[in-house]
Amino acid sequence: MKKFSRKIAAAAALAITVSSCMTGCFNNTGSGSGSGSSGGNSETVLRVGYTQEPSSFDPADFTIVAATLTGYDCYDTLLNFSHDGTTVEPALAESWEQVDDTTYTYKIRQGVKFSDGNEMTMDDVLYSLNRVTEDNYYMSYLFANVDSFEADNDTWTLTVHLKQPDSSWQYVPATSACTIVEKSVTEEQGDKYGTADGKTVGTGPYKLSSWSSGSEIVLEKNENWWGDPDTLDIDKVEYYVIEDESALALAAKGGQIDFVEGMSNSVMSVYQSCQNFNILSCEGTTSNYIAFNTASKPFDDEWARKAVAYCIDRSQITTTIGGDYAKQSAVVPMSESMMYMDKDKWDSTIAESDVYTQDYDKVKECLAKSKYPDGFEFDFYTTSQTQKQAELLKSMVDASGSITMNLVEVPDSDIFSYMFGYKTKDNGERYYNAVGTYMMSDFLDPMGMLKTLYAGSNACEGGTNETLWSSTEVDGLLDKAAQTTDDAEKMGYYTDAYKIFADECPYLGLYTSSDVYAVSDKFTYDPSPMFWYNFSYADVHVAK
């Protein structure tokens, strides 16, 4: 009887332990945040889910969506983009002026405090800008035309001297490149600044509260924010790292997540089936395309490029890979949101140019005119992220019977080295014959995409022109466009350049992707085309 009682007691203890754990498990609703939105005096928590963790909160590392969804709100930039992305608005600079063709002045806001309570100084502003103009900063190309920065401590004025006139400079202060950090903290922290182990200090509406590596990041209201913290609906942002996309979708479906950005096509149906979620989309600036290496065989021959272009059914690629929230791109990779200056003129220019619809007879015609009448092989570089797309492209190209596309998959970490020419063959040639990739523009002015991709000055090591194609005529047109602020005149230069791009086909645009969000119906959010630079939880509101 004694033995039996002991066994019963042990079994009961085990059962209690297990059941209490399970019960606790079921009752836990994510760090005690409750329903996310709560009334009365309790705080309003927005639970954000994403598959990646940011590497750091240092603005110098704001290269991935995870950083935009977390660190970006801890800082402010000199200016902000307007909600539609076409103009700029005051932020840390309360006003600005173009003094002459190459000089801009910015009146810096006084009395702004960092989240640690220290006041922002002109020294911090100057330090932040000099920090990102260093050659190794990933967005240093935005400052290639900057001759110098000058800070006047008495008048709180920042003066920017450009080397030559450039109307697109007006947008640069609204990009994350012009994020202001606190000099003393950044210098003291060194490499640790912004990491999970280090400090993050900014002037933004939110501040970093905690960071559990691989799991959870918490932001809370910055009571020192120069804007009014009381205007923020969201008191606390809990950012959860859920690497598996299906698990993330289930977390949203189970009501554990309120806000998701960038859902892929494969899990979209799960979000669409969530009755308490709204799917929002906004055409951004992301374009997916093929870049042909025009500096070596076979794509130094424009007819070889055109032959491949005619192999591809871009409509099928758009539907199969891009999904519901993608649009077929024009030959020049550029989204419709960037055609705001004169959409009709763009449309008529696109219609007048060759659009390269799949046509294997034209493939034969192009090959006959090329140096490779019997066809050719080429290496197409891709990563695991774009593998599906690459396989579909290969099936279309190989179906021509004359052209063979060899897929070369390289690690995600290496693709930039190949594309930007840091990794080349011994003779200096690039490894890839063609590469499948994507690009986001820094601003909606078409210059953001056209100069980045097509300018001869970018066809070099470290440059963003992966095709190495250049044309003095195009460079001249882009220079003229940069020197005018008249939209109609600009459009004339852009559309003239477009005709050359379509005719020479160094790039082949495939599709443009929209920014897609799943937002719990407890909250509202009005997305902006400039997600990368405009995203802020200050724009997420509790649904009335």
Partner 1 sequence: MKRFRFIIKRLLSMIVIMFLVSFLVFVVLRMSDADPLTVMIGNNQSTPELRQALTEKYHLDDPVHIQYLRWIKGVLSGDFGTDYVDGQDVKGLVMSRLPITFGLVIMSSVIGSVIAVIMGVAAALRKGKPSDAAISGLMLVLSGAPSFLVSILILFFMTKYVPGYSFIGTYTNFGEFLQRIMIPSLIMALTFVAMLGRITRSNMINQLQSPYIATAAAKGLKQSNITYKHAFHNAVIPVITVAGYMIAGSIGSTVIVEQVFSLPGIGGLLISAIEENNFPIVQILVLFMLGAYLVMSFVIDILYTVLDPRVDLK
Residue 3 in the binding site for partner 1 (CB under 8 A):
no
Residue with tokens 């690039």: 430
Minimum CB distance to partner 1, residue 1 (Å): 16
In whole angstroms, what is the distance from residue 308 CA to residue 330 CA?
16
Q: Is 314 in the site for partner 1 (CB under 8 A)?
A: no
**Whole-angstrom Cα distance, residue 427 to residue 414?**
20
- The DSSP bridge pattern shows strands 259-261 and 45-50 to be parallel
213 binds partner 1, rule: CB under 8 A? yes
What's the CA gap between 222 and 512, in Å, rounded? Answer: 36
Inter-residue contact 341 to 487 (CB < 8 Å): yes
> Distance between CA 500 and CA 496 in Å, rounded?
7
Nearer to partner 1, 110 or 213 (CB): 213
Q: CA-CA distance, 129 to 157, in Å (whole number)?
A: 14
Q: Does 379 bind partner 1 (CB under 8 A)?
A: no
* Cα atoms found within 13 Å of the Cα of residue 88, Cβ hemisphere only: 26
431 interacts with partner 1 by CB under 8 A: no
505 contacts 309 by C-beta, under 8 angstroms: yes
Minimum distance from CB of 419 to partner 1 (Å)? 11
> What does the per-residue mask of binding to partner 1 show for 36-55, with x meaning CB under 8 A?
-----------x-x-----x
138 binds partner 1 (CB under 8 A): yes
What is the C-alpha to C-alpha distance for residues 161 and 344, in angstroms, rounded to an integer?
A: 36
> φ and ψ at 254, to 5 degrees?
-80, 5
Nearer to partner 1, 311 or 519 (CB): 519
What's the min distance (Å) between Cβ of 457 and partner 1? 15
Strand partners, 113: 119
Is residue 324 a contact residue for partner 1 (CB under 8 A)?
no
Q: How near is the Cβ of 529 to partner 1 at its closest, in Å?
A: 22
Q: Any contact of residue 195 with partner 1 (CB under 8 A)? A: yes
Contact 275, 334 (CB under 8 A): no
Q: Determine if 136 is a binding residue for partner 1 (CB under 8 A).
A: yes
Overall size of the chain counted in residues? 544
Contact between 7 and partner 1 (CB under 8 A)? no
Dihedral, CA of residue 187, residue 192, residue 195 and residue 199, to nearest 10: -50
Q: What is the Cα–Cα distance from 50 to 24, expressed in whole angstroms?
A: 25
Distance in angstroms (rounded) separating the CA atoms of residues 144 and 132: 11
Among 94, 216, 233, 365, binds partner 1 (CB under 8 A): 216
Long-range Cβ contacts of 265-268 (<8 Å, 24+ apart)? 265/321, 265/322, 265/323, 265/324, 268/323, 268/324, 268/516
Choose between 93 and 185: whose C-beta lies nearer to partner 1.
185
Per CB under 8 A, contacts with partner 1 among 441-470 are: 462
> What's the min distance (Å) between Cβ of 322 and partner 1?
23
Binding residues with partner 1: total (CB under 8 A): 57
Q: Does 196 bind partner 1 (CB under 8 A)?
A: yes
Q: What's at 100, amino acid-wise?
A: D
Check residue 247 for interaction with partner 1 (CB under 8 A). Answer: yes
Pair of tokens at residue 90: 């005051």
Residue 31 interacts with partner 1 (CB under 8 A): yes or no:
yes
- Contact call for residue 133 and partner 1 (CB under 8 A): no
Window contacting partner 1 (CB under 8 A); options: 27-35, 302-310, 334-342, 524-532 = 27-35
Cα separations in angstroms, 273 against 48, 189, 252, 323, 513: 19, 46, 11, 16, 22
C-beta of 247 vs 488, nearer to partner 1: 247
Q: Does 132 bind partner 1 (CB under 8 A)?
A: no
Contact status: 4 vs partner 1 (CB under 8 A): no
The residue among 132 and 160 lying less far from partner 1, judged by its C-beta, is 132
Beta strands 45-50 and 236-241 are parallel
> Rounded to the nearest 5°, which phi and psi values hold at 54?
-70, 150
Min dist. Cβ of residue 243 to partner 1 (A) = 5
Q: Least Å distance between CB 305 and partner 1?
A: 27
| Binding of partner 1 by 21 (CB under 8 A) | yes
- The residue within the footprint of partner 1, chosen from 256, 349, 458, 520 (CB under 8 A), is 256
The answer to whether residue 34 forms part of the interface with partner 1 (CB under 8 A) is: no
Contact between 70 and partner 1 by CB under 8 A: the answer reads no
Q: Contact, 337 vs 284, CB < 8 A? A: yes
Per residue, the 3-state secondary structure of 454-486, as one string, reads: HCHHHCCCCCCCCCCCCCHHHHHHHHHHHCCCC
**Cβ at position 251, least distance to partner 1 in Å:** 6
Residue type at 83 in one-letter notation: H
Residue 487 interacts with partner 1 (CB under 8 A): yes or no: no
Structure tokens at 205: 């509406």
Q: Taking the complex as a whole, how short is the minimal distance between the CB of residue 60 and partner 1, in angstroms?
A: 8
> In the complex with partner 1, which residue's Cβ is closer, 418 or 501?
418
Q: Which is nearer to partner 1, 249 or 309 (CB)?
A: 249
Stretch that binds partner 1, among 194-202, 364-372, 475-483, 509-517 (CB under 8 A): 194-202
How many Å apart are CA 239 and CA 259, to the nearest integer? 9
Residue 276 as a binder of partner 1 (CB under 8 A): the answer is no
> Which parts of this chain interact with partner 1 (CB under 8 A)?
18, 21-22, 24-31, 47, 49, 55-56, 60-61, 63, 135-138, 140, 191-192, 195-197, 212-216, 238, 240-244, 246-247, 250-251, 253-254, 256-257, 411-414, 416-417, 420, 422-423, 462
